[in-house]
């Protein structure tokens, strides 16, 4: 079974300050409908024990710590993530090709029965626009910089990228269907934008070429998270049909 077709397309971002809040939300969701993402704040607060508890509830976990350091340090962090049994881990593509290659090799070295966490790289954060990049000294546009970093990621042999839905279709064409396009900044049509600048609805994102959608507040802050997730999955199915 391909990386694209196996398992839920939705990744719910557990953007909570502590384990109790995250587990309370997770208990209201169905592992057949989504995977879960654990980021900086929650992991620093709750630690590896939370990953074990989410696994016990039946969820696959995307450990979203965006490693970006010298190759040896990132390799060690990736090996530690693999020992937690996470489904996916990520790095910053701007760390460079040698860093990404070393991270991939580290995961391959600890693979069990040929299985290892998927490794993807962040291109340009969806909270950034052309002006933000210019403020960091990057002269390319968001689209140009994202494509440059996605090319670097593909050459390093990683499984895919974190990118905006606005770039997903071009990446699918350039790098193939099996190269994952994990898209944050997803908002149902009636949801607030929050701090995201480059956003899209679930159906539109899937139609343009995203392979997986990261959705946070529209699900986690809903009165009925399960119902929102069901509606999102229905929209995804309609888009793929």
Domain harbouring 156, CATH code? 3.20.20.70
Per the structure block, which two tokens stand in for 192? 């607030």
Q: Which domain holds residue 141?
A: 10-240
Distance (Å, whole) CA 231 – CA 166: 22
- Does any domain span residue 192? yes
Residues 78-133 have pLDDT tens digits of 999 999 999 999 999 999 999 999 999 999 998 776 789 999 999 988 788 899 99
- Does any domain span residue 2? no
- Does any domain span residue 145? yes
Say whether 197 is catalytic: no
Q: Which of 187, 67, 180, 179 is nearest to 126 (CA)?
A: 187
Cα angle 11, 63, 92; round to 5: 100
- Does any domain span residue 160? yes
- Does any domain span residue 226? yes
- Does any domain span residue 64? yes
Q: Which of 118, 71, 116, 70 is nearest to 90 (CA)?
A: 118
pLDDT of residue 75: 98
Output the CA–CA distances (angstroms, integers) from residue 113 to 59, 120, 152, in the order listed: 20, 21, 28
Confidence of residue 214 (pLDDT cuts 50, 70, 90): very high
Angle of helix 97-109 versus helix 71-83 axis, rounded to 10: 30
Active-site residue, selected from the candidate residues 53, 66, 197, 217: 66
- Does any domain span residue 218? yes
Mean pLDDT across 222-232 = 95
pLDDT of residue 190: 60
Cα angle 81, 83, 85; round to 5: 80
pLDDT at position 186 over 60 = yes
Output the CA–CA distances (angstroms, integers) from residue 179 to 21, 59, 119, 152, in the order listed: 33, 23, 11, 13
Q: Name the domain count of the chain.
A: 1
- Does any domain span residue 69? yes
């Amino acid at each position: 079974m391909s990386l694209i077709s196996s398992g839920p397309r939705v990744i719910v971002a557990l953007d909570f300050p502590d384990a109790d809040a995250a587990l309370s939300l997770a208990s209201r969701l169905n592992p057949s409908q989504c995977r879960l993402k654990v980021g900086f704040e929650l992991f620093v607060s709750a630690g590896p024990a939370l990953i074990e508890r989410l696994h016990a509830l039946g969820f696959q976990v995307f450990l979203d710590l965006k490693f970006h350091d010298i190759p040896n340090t990132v390799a060690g962090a990736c090996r530690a993530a693999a020992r937690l049994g996470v489904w996916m881990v990520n790095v910053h593509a701007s760390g460079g090709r040698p860093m990404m290659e070393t991270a991939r090799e580290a995961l391959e070295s600890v693979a069990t029965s040929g299985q290892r966490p998927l490794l993807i790289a962040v291109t340009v954060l969806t909270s950034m626009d052309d002006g933000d990049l210019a403020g960091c000294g990057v002269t390319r546009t968001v689209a140009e910089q994202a494509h440059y970093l996605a090319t670097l990621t593909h050459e390093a042999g990683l499984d895919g990228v974190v990118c905006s839905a606005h770039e997903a279709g071009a990446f699918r064409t350039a790098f193939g269907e099996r190269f994952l396009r994990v898209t944050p900044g997803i908002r149902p049509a009636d949801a607030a934008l929050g701090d995201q600048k480059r956003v899209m609805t679930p159906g539109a994102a899937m139609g343009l070429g995203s392979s997986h959608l990261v959705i946070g507040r529209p699900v986690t802050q809903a009165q009925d998270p399960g119902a929102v997730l069901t509606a999102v999955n229905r929209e995804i199915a309609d888009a793929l049909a």
